[in-house]
Amino acid sequence: MSGAPFRGLAVLLTGASSGIGRALARQLAEQGAWLALAARTRDELEEVAAECRAAGAAAGARAVAIPTDVADEAQCRAAVERAVAEFGRLDVLVANAGISMWARFDALRDLEGLERIMRVNYFGAVYCAFHALPHLKRARGRIVAVSSLTGKTGVPTRTGYAASKHAMAGFFDSLRIELADEGVSVTVVYPGFVATGVRRHAVGPDGRPLGESPVQESKVMTPDECARLTLRAAARRDRELVMTARGRVGQWLKLIAPGLTDRIARRAIEEGR
């Protein structure tokens, strides 16, 4: 495989302003990709676009910032249209935008936060896929959906988040089968804990961001490593990638000892890693 499989490919990347998205953007730029970077925060997004243009200058990278709230279908359609207008085509969609939660279901004051999670994590990915698909078919391109291990198994304090990631898994697994003869690959990646800072913005019991991370960020996977593994799987058009050894073992345990899997999930949250 070439050392720069995304060179010259037009990529729409959501959730690009921080965390895994920012790391993906930088690594794609270093390969020479043409990047349409989407996220809600304009200033941070412009910073990432500038970083990408600098990091990928020698490789011919391009980058444009497209402020987008993926919970709004019209904005997703506009982001796709802007990317195609900018680059003349669309080869890759990376559906990475997401928000988390950290609260027991019975501690929630209302369901507004859970509805927002589903709109961003699930419908945001669906909206982008819907509007990008005609262009991806012409390019025989790639869809990369960034899910979570909670898309494979339930986790306490993550009810709404797990539901959104399970929905993503079901949607993209089904879409992969539908596109089997269209030349468009669908790769779903399932990271474990990643030191993204996203948990500071996770929905708490009152529906507001926590403001601090309850996870020991120094002890979990870095965004750069997560991005590297994601792009390797996407380049190979892998079906899916469960990133951690514990996650892979957990899938087998769930089949033969589901109660043990539940206890492991509970302990992982209690230990904050």
Which of the residues are catalytic?
161
Tokens of 54: 């600098």
- 266/263 Cα distance (integer angstroms): 5
SS (H, E, C) the chain: CCCCCCCCCEEEEECCCCHHHHHHHHHHHHHCCEEEEEECCHHHHHHHHHHHHHHCHHHCCEEEEEECCCCCHHHHHHHHHHHHHHHCCCCEEEECCCCCECCCHHHCCCCHHHHHHHHHHHHHHHHHHHHHHHHHHHHCCEEEEECCHHHCCCCCCCHHHHHHHHHHHHHHHHHHHHCCCCCCEEEEEECCCECCCHHHHCECCCCCECCCCCCCHHHCECHHHHHHHHHHHHHCCCCEEECCHHHHHHHHHHHHCHHHHHHHHHHHHHHCC
